[in-house]
Structure 1
Amino acid sequence: MDVVTAIEGGLVVSCQAPEGHPLRDPRAIVLLARCAELGGAAGLRVNGPEDVRAVKAVTGLPLIGLAKVPRPHARPLITPSFALCEELVRAGADLVALEVTAEAEPSAGDLPGLVERVRRELGVPVMADVSTAEEGVRAWERGAALVSTTLSGYTPYTLASGPEPDLALVGELAALGIRMVAEGRLRTPEHVAEAFARGAWSVVIGGAITDPLAITRHLTAATPAGSRR
């Protein structure tokens, strides 16, 4: 079964930890991935060749690889070059996630063209991380197997979308026949159910499952002690 079909109707768990996080170690990422697999995840989303390689060695789940490239005073870009895509595939990624946003193109170049090149030259499907309907359509037309709402609310022109997941974008593009992945700020079973009701092919959840630091901070803020900090 191909990776796109394998995650249809399922939950993909994003197992990542940034630099400086207590879990920033491939061995910790592997443990998160094993927990996700035992919990019923249909696939995994993993950042960086080192973590991809480590996770690939312990699980048979479909593996979506990405590479976050830091920028000063801005969010990281997601896999903005062919060389990064090639590294991920060599490490064992079954599918590559890369962004197709107007924000990234001034520095990264022709991102829809990158989608097409990865599919053609590396022989793996692409998940296009986008922030708007226009970006999603451009990526789909250039051969993305999946389009994800990952960056809605994180580009300068979508920051006003608020703290809730952009499920309207899922529905808008799914109605056009685009295989949509709901990702970004999903936290509850209700979010997951609503995403599928709007036509999502799959759902990706990360921090709400795999970041105990963020979860603890969120819950601590509701305590009397936490509110005094």
Structure 2
Amino acid sequence: MTYAPLELIAGRLIASVQAPAGSPVRDTEVIAALAGAALLGGASGLRLNSPDDIRRMRSSTSAPIIGLHKVWNGVRNIITPDVALAAGLAEAGADIIAVDATIEQLGESFALLGEIGEATARPVMADVSTFDEGMRAWEAGAAVIGTTLSGYTPYSVQQEGPDLRLVAELAAAGVPTIAEGRYQSPEQVRAAFDAGALAVVVGGAVTDPIAITRRFVAATPAVRSPA
């Protein structure tokens, strides 16, 4: 029996394993090692950036992969901004294609989501920053909505922790929702599922050694009370 990728991640944790240029772990083999460790720890899926990382992990796991292709626009990274990049992710083995579905990026037309879905024959995860964007993306053909970009557009909620309210609002509207963005603790993951999330993505809290170390260093006297 085979299952669609969204069924395989329902009620489960997805590990986002990414690293920016210049990071010591920005190497496909290192990313693969971190992703493999996350799967051994119980993650049921992966969120990976670039065809190279996806292709490497596809060769070693059948776990669902959410693929994305980040493109820097001078202000922030835009997630899979065109059909050609999405096609590259599908060819590399991505099961779900993540796409930036913000008004900041797409303007008033969200037709790109349907175009990517048709071109790749893959479900599209629309990464949004607001409830309105989530509903537009859903109506435009996205298979699932991610709260990934809440706080990363100037008009969305700016807060330190995850946007649980956005998760709850989208879920209450009957929209399959993947909670993502600033999830740092098991309590926050539990709260997202209680709010109606289909699945939860955790990134830096489990797969970024630099971010993990910084949280602990912030608790030291030298940082809290510098001389």
TM-score normalized by the length of structure 2? 0.95
Letter in 1 for 2:83: F
Deviation per residue, 1:161-208 (Å, 9 max, x gap): 210100000000100110011100111111011100010000000000
Instruction: Give the counterpart letter for 2:94 in structure 1.
Output: A
How well do the aligned residues superpose, as a CA RMSD in angstroms?
1.3
1:36-94 superposed Cα distances (whole Å, 9 cap, x missing partner) = 1111111100001111111111111001100110122x111111111110010011111
- Residue 11 of structure 1 is matched in structure 2 by 13
| Contact in 2 for aligned 1:182/1:203 (Cα 8 Å) | yes
Match of residue 121 from structure 2:
123
What is the percent sequence identity of the aligned residues?
A: 50
Following superposition of structure 1 onto structure 2, how do residues 27-176 of structure 1 map, counting pairs within 5 Å?
27-72=29-74, 74-105=75-106, 110=109, 112-158=110-156, 160-176=157-173
Consecutive unaligned residues in structure 2, runs of 5 or more? none
State how far apart, in whole Å, the 1-side matches of 2:116 and 2:7 are: 19
Distance in 2 of aligned mates of 1:40 and 1:214:
21
Which of 200, 209, 212 lines up with 2:209 in the alignment? 212
Amino acid at match of 1:57: S
Aligned counterparts of 2:217 and 2:118: Cα–Cα separation in 1: 48
CA distance in structure 1 between the partners assigned to 2:68 and 2:211 by the alignment: 21
Measured in 2, the distance between the counterparts of 1:121 and 1:215 equals 38
CA distance in 2, matches of 1:156, 1:127: 21
Matched to 1:82, the amino acid is V
**Paired residue secondary structure (1:103):** helix
| 1:202 equivalent in structure 2 | 199
Paired with 2:161 and 2:222, the residues of 1 have a C-alpha distance of 27
Amino acid at match of 2:80: T
CA shift digits 1:111-162 (9 cap, x unpaired): x21111122221100000000000000110111111010000010112x521
- Asked whether the 8 Å contact 1:30–1:58 carries over to 2, the reply is no
Residue 225 of structure 1: CA displacement?
2.5
2:24 to 22, 29, 32: 22
Task: Give me the whole-angstrom Cα distance separating, in 1, the residues matched to 2:72 and 2:60.
Answer: 28
Verify the 8 A CA contact 1:7 1:202 in the aligned structure 2. yes
How far the C-alpha of 1:105 sits from its partner, in A, is 2.0
Opposite residue 105 of structure 1, the aligned amino acid is L
| Alpha-carbon distance between aligned partners in 2 of 1:224 and 1:113, rounded to the nearest angstrom | 52
Aligned match of 2:180: 183
Return the offset for 1:214.
1.1
Size of the alignment, in residue pairs?
224
Q: Which amino acid aligns with 2:119?
A: E
The range that moved more, 114-123 or 60-69, is 114-123
- Structure 1 length normalisation: TM-score? 0.95
Question: What are structure 1's unaligned runs of at least 5 residues?
Answer: none
